[in-house]
Structure 1
Amino acid sequence: MSAITIRPETEADRDAVHALLTAAFDGDGEAGLVAALHAAGDAVLALVAEADDGAICGHVLFSRLTVESDGDSFPAVALAPLAVLPEHQRQGIGAQLVEEAHRRLRAAGETLSIVLGEPAYYGRFGYTHEDAAAFDSDYQCAALQAALWGATPTTGRLVYAPAFSGL
């Protein structure tokens, strides 16, 4: 594969991102989630991987998540979804998207990211179930993982954007 460019998603990318998500997940559930997160203003960061020919071959989105504990609310982000077109998978594009997103999120002051995904894959980016195990979540299981980048709560209730309730 030729070089790719990682850049912020734009409104003009939305149709290509929808097609990518539908192909990568063999259905439109994740595409609907992304559209709903954007429509509600809950997307914190969305990046695309663009091939030399201008085609969008990868996408990642982080949405606003809050940790509620003892009447306080703390901002965090949720990674979902991460997708690469099937014909471009296993070439490091997903890793480049996550690493660039993490760099941007940390630079913006984010200190906690949550993902529900394959531990072996997301573990290489600093996510662990041990860091997420004490959170109360509708998704609590071994695949719920956290990446801690600074002073952040390690307990409390994880409250996802309303779009997640439609899954």
Structure 2
Amino acid sequence: MDHSTHHAGPERGLAADRHHAEPHGRHVSDASWPMAAKATLHCLTGCAIGEILGMVVGTALLWGNVPTMVLAIVLAFVFGYSFTLFAVRRAGLDFKTAIKVALAADTVSIAVMELIDNGIIALVPGAMDAQLSDGLFWSALLGSLAVAFFVTTPVNKWMIGRGKGHAVVHAYH
């Protein structure tokens, strides 16, 4: 059977073109803003838990800025990955495969979120020296997470549209 004419014709419209492979054989799918926002919110939840816990622990223990930020970033990645890891494990993946999926789904999103979040905290005058009882501590931390959400959402939309990031997780739901 000759497949060369199978794809020709009026039934192949713009919607079909959007689902075609881009160069190098990577599949391009539609990625909606709500889908990207949901993926980013999922990432933000894990990052926020880790980030807040790290900042609270480091500040409470009177650690310096660098060790506190390192702890916050490490915990943000741990909690960010763990949400995806537990979800795909519940879906039946073995632990090794689940780790690979979590790394593929969340690494870029968490990294962008942490870069923006910690960059803002570092740039807000006095935020790095604020104590847990200071409004500046909480406003800088929560404000930076909000900005990180809005910056990371288009990144996730772009990645999902190319079959990367959280699109990897959706194959297992």
Q: Which has the higher contact order (CA 8 A, sep 6+)?
A: 2
TM-score by length of 1: 0.26
TM-score by length of 2: 0.25
Q: Greater strand percent: which structure? A: 1
